Amino acid sequence: MDLQEFFEIIDICDPEEFKYFENLAALLEADGYIPTEHIQTLLSGIDSELYGEFLETYFDEFLEEIPDEETDFYVAVENIKRTLLGAFPMDHNADNMYEYAELLNRFRKWYLEDRDVIRLTDGADVSVRDARYDLRAAELLGEDVRYDFRAATTFDAGGYDVLVSDMILNDEYDGGDDGEGPDDFS
């Protein structure tokens, strides 16, 4: 895939047009391998604050869709969100942006390619993204679909870690518990 084909996937002609939430969603959800260099080129010129807002919105929507009984998966996705937000380099240089692009590609592999989620109705192994799509569709159609997310609770951040103390500190600055997510953390 060349750079122009990549830009077509995310519905832009050049990196300056990466200004909408839909562009980020297309980047995260696009099938197939995207070269790390292409992601690096795309993100090297993006406004950090805008990117952070898009990423936070994307993951907040994702977290709302997770069934209440999937507490471990909810925590895993929250940690991925914090890792991706916290790892984004404020100073855009070639080295640190390449590392971040690699991290984003690791997320995309976990999200799109790994078949770690089991659809309980037929035992099929599906990706996290496909399970998420199915859950959203089932809710709209009033259907009952259930998944086992236990195998999808591990994400290799490749050396990026989020400290529990940072999570607590961030929650304090955000005003604490916002009432979203699973009610039972036992």
DSSP annotation string for the chain? --HHHHHHHTT-SSGGG--SHHHHHHHHH-SS---HHHHHHHHHTS-HHHHHHHHHHHHHHHHHHS-TT-HHHHHHHHHHHHHHHHHS-SS--HHHHHHHHHHHHHHHIIIII---EEETTT--EE-HHHHHHHHHHHHHHT----EE-GGGS----TT----HHHHHHHHHHTTS--S-S-S---
In this structure, is residue 164 part of a structural domain? yes
pLDDT average, residue stretch 97-104: 94
More confident residue, 90 or 171: 90
Q: How many domains does the chain have?
A: 1
**CA–CA distance, 134 with 170 (Å, rounded to integer):** 32
Q: Is the pLDDT of residue 178 over 90?
A: no
pLDDT value of residue 47:
87
pLDDT value of residue 157:
80
In this structure, is residue 180 part of a structural domain? no
In this structure, is residue 182 part of a structural domain? no
Six-digit token pair at 167? 């999570």
**CA–CA distance, 110 with 96 (Å, rounded to integer):** 21
In this structure, is residue 179 part of a structural domain? no
The range of the structural domain enclosing residue 77 comes to: 3-173
Place of tokens 């995207």: 34
pLDDT value of residue 159:
62
In this structure, is residue 38 part of a structural domain? yes
In this structure, is residue 178 part of a structural domain? no
More confident residue, 166 or 13: 13
Under a CB-based contact definition with an 8 Å cutoff, are residues 27 and 10 in contact? yes
In this structure, is residue 70 part of a structural domain? yes
Place of tokens 């519905």: 11
pLDDT average, residue stretch 143-153: 94
In this structure, is residue 184 part of a structural domain? no
Q: Is the pLDDT of residue 82 over 90?
A: yes
